[in-house]
Structure formats: C-alpha cells, structure tokens
Amino acid sequence: MTRTASKGSDPSCSDATIASARAYHVLKIDGYSRTINISCRPSFESCLFYAGGHTWKLRYYPMGSRIGNHSFISLYLSLVDPVDEAVTVKTTFSLLDQDQKPVRSYRHTATVTFSAPGLKGYERFIRRKELERSEHLKDDCFAVRVDVRIVKEAPSTVVPLSDMHRHLGDLLWSKEHTDVEFRVSGETFAAHRLLLGARSPVFKAELFGPIKEGTTTDVIQIDDMEAHVFRALLTFVYTDAWPEMEHEQEPAMSQHLLIASDRYGMQRLKLICEEKLCNHIDTSCVATILALAEKHNCLALKEACFDVLGSSATLLTVLKTKEFECLALTYPTITKELISNVLTRNLKKVKVLKTEEFERLALTWPTITKELVSDVLTRHLEKAKNLGWNQERQSVIKPST
C-alpha cells in the first residue's frame, strides 16, 4: 500500500500551523475497492497535520473497526503525541461530494476529550452499500474531511441533562391514568388530555375548547394519518425528543411529521423536521420537498431547496421529472421564483422575469415556461465553473495493485 500527500505539504496537507487552534484535513481514498479486498480488517492512515500545538492524523477502516461493524466504514481522529493536560476538541467528519463540498446527511459533529494518544471518531460513519450506491464514489475514489477546533477551556462543573423526558415517556408507555384514546389506522393510542393540551394549541381546543370532541370515555378517530406517524407524534409530545428510527426511514418520517406538526401547531417539531429534511435533499426528491415547504410555509426548507437547485445543471436535471411538472402546475408562483433565483445566479441580471408578461406566461402556460427556461439554462451551462480537487490540505490513500 502506498500513501501519498499532495505537493507543497511537508509532512501534512493541512493548512494549520503548529500554533493554530483550528485545522482541517482531507483524506482521499483512491482505489476504494482494493482497500476492502483484503482478508483481514485493514486500516489506513493519513499523513500528519497540526492543530493547537498537537500532531494529528486520520485513520480509515474500510471494513469497520470492530467485528460487529463490518458493513460500515469507520473513521477516527488520532492524537499522535503525548499531552500533559487533557485536550478538548470539537470535530466534524464529513463525506465530500464530487465538488469537494460536505454532504449534509453524512456530516457528524462531536466534542471529544483526549487525555492521552488515542482514537476518537465514528465506528459507523457510513454503510459501505450506501457509499457504493451513491454518486460520491466515482472512478473508485471518494474523500472525507475532518475539521478540528481545539476548545481552550472546558467547564469545571458538568450539570447533568434533564431527564424529565424519560419520566414523561414512561408515563406514555405505561398508560397510567390516561383519560383519552385515539383510533388511528386501526390502532388505539391512550394519552393524557392535560399533557396534550399543554403541548399543542390544537389538541387544547379539541379536548377542552368549544370544539372538543366527545367525553372522557370517547375514542377520537383520526382518519388522515398513519399509525406509526401518530405514534412518533405522541412520542415527541411527551419527550420533546426526535423518535428513534433507522437512518433510511428519516426522510419519509420527517415529511409526515412536518405535516402533523403544522396541523397541531407544534412549531418546535416542525423546525426539527425542516432541519432534518434540509439534510436529505437531492435531485430525486427536491421538487416534492419544495412543494411541501411551500404548502406548509417552511422558509428555511424552501431556501435549502433553492440551494440544491442553485446551478443550471441541477435544475435542468430536475426539470425533466414528473415531480417538477406537478410543482409547476400546482405552484406556478414558486416555480417562477425558483427559476428567477437560479437564473440570477447564472446570468447576474434577468429583467424579463420581473415583467407582468412573464407572470402571465408562468401562470397560464407553465409547460412552455419550463421549456423556455430549459433552453436558456442549456445555453449558459457551458459557462459554469468546474470545481476540481483542492490539492492542498489533503491526503491520498492509493492501494497498490
């Protein structure tokens, strides 16, 4: 196996000096398939880099660092030199896309403490199958980045986190002293009126206000929601925490809970759903999520969709989907806003989009509008910048054949 660093770095590819408190390092795996075609559980190291007066390196385990994690890639930050005092570090591990930008759904941040040389990181950074199916593995290569920031002072007293959520969660699961029931998709859920009313203004109106449904012994029927979504909603009502689920289930559940949280006036849950959906936007679902953001007035999610569609190439891909056709027909105004946003980025000035004539065109003939914009974007696509690898601040692992 050979490990090569980029030119101009000795011995590190990081931009940090020995005295700096921040650094980042990019590790490029050139020859991914050869790193996993080994009988033992292999590991590979980056070249050294420096931050906060300490020496660091990255360690990559293509087949996991432990027996139970063989289907995952493990990544760790390693402190090389001994320390007199514990070093607290805020780390961010990111999978990089082909433009060397962090992939939001595979970006992990944590604060860790090193009392001696050792490893801190993620045993299950990403499933190998997910990486292999993604567009981020290209020509048998992919890259990851770690950002390191030394935390100078750690608090001398650590106050334990509140465990009220655990007690309220136990109250939900035990069904003690429940006084209302909901029937959802054939399942019955018992709950407490006072707690529901305290957490949601809509539940409060339904259970205690003029529009309250039935008596304490009635079962309230909910017809337009799946049982597993209502269960997740109740979990958040009682615990104020995101329900546990598999990573693959999170995008769909985030959409369902965003709708439910908007329905029941639970703003905090709605914002959490927005944040999670922002980390799962890609060209296959951006039109659907943008329609959801427009319908439920999610400004941050809408901006995130615009960011994904911020290049001519991406928008041209999405324009061909049935989801975008539905978006253009249902929300012609947001379609115009989206197109204006993208063209402004690419063409600097787009005066025609501000005219009343274009407004009428977008509202009356959204299909023609789409074809017009597609043609304009195609003409200017060749002017887009091609972003290549920044040869500084990175290591390359290239297994020998």
User: Coil, strand or helix: which one is 185?
Assistant: coil
> What is the Rg, in whole angstroms, of the alpha carbon atoms belonging to the chain?
26
The 10s digit of each residue's pLDDT in 270-327 is: 999 999 999 888 888 888 898 899 899 998 998 888 888 776 667 777 777 777 777 7
Q: Which two tokens stand for residue 99?
A: 């433009």
Q: Of residues 184 and 364, which shows the higher confidence score?
A: 184
* Residue 17: per-residue pLDDT: 33
d(CA 308, CA 295): 19
* Domains of the chain by start residue, with CATH: 2-155 (2.60.210.10), 167-273 (3.30.710.10), 281-381 (no CATH)
pTM for this model (two decimals):
0.48
* Residue 343: per-residue pLDDT: 66
Q: Residue 364 contacts by C-beta under 8 Å, 6 or more apart in sequence?
A: none
Dihedral angle sign, alpha carbons of residues 19, 24, 29, 35 = positive
| For range 248-276, the mean pLDDT | 94
* Residue 369: per-residue pLDDT: 60
d(CA 168, CA 173): 9
Confidence label for 235 from pLDDT (cuts 50, 70 and 90)? very high
Q: Which two tokens stand for residue 13?
A: 């590819």
> Is residue 219 within 8 Å of 181, Cβ to Cβ?
yes
Site of tokens 């943008």: 290
Q: Of residues 354 and 190, which shows the higher confidence score?
A: 190
% the chain with pLDDT above 90? 47
Residue 173 has pLDDT above 70, yes or no: yes
Strands 219-222 and 180-184: parallel
| For range 44-68, the mean pLDDT | 89
256 CB burial (10 A radius; 0-12, 13-18, 19+): middle
> Is residue 94 within 8 Å of 119, Cβ to Cβ?
no
Q: Of residues 8 and 72, which shows the higher confidence score?
A: 72
CB count, 10 Å around CB of 173? 9
Q: How many residues does the chain have?
A: 401
| For range 127-134, the mean pLDDT | 93
d(CA 67, CA 71): 9
Site of tokens 């197109």: 339
Instruction: Find the helix packing angle between 366-381 and 356-364, rounded to 10°.
Output: 110
Confidence label for 373 from pLDDT (cuts 50, 70 and 90)? low
* Residue 212: per-residue pLDDT: 61
Most confident segment among 39-48, 185-194, 245-254, 306-315:
185-194
Residue type for 15, please? Answer: D
Strands 118-127 and 2-5: unpaired
How many Cα atoms sit within 13 Å of 95 on the Cβ side? 23
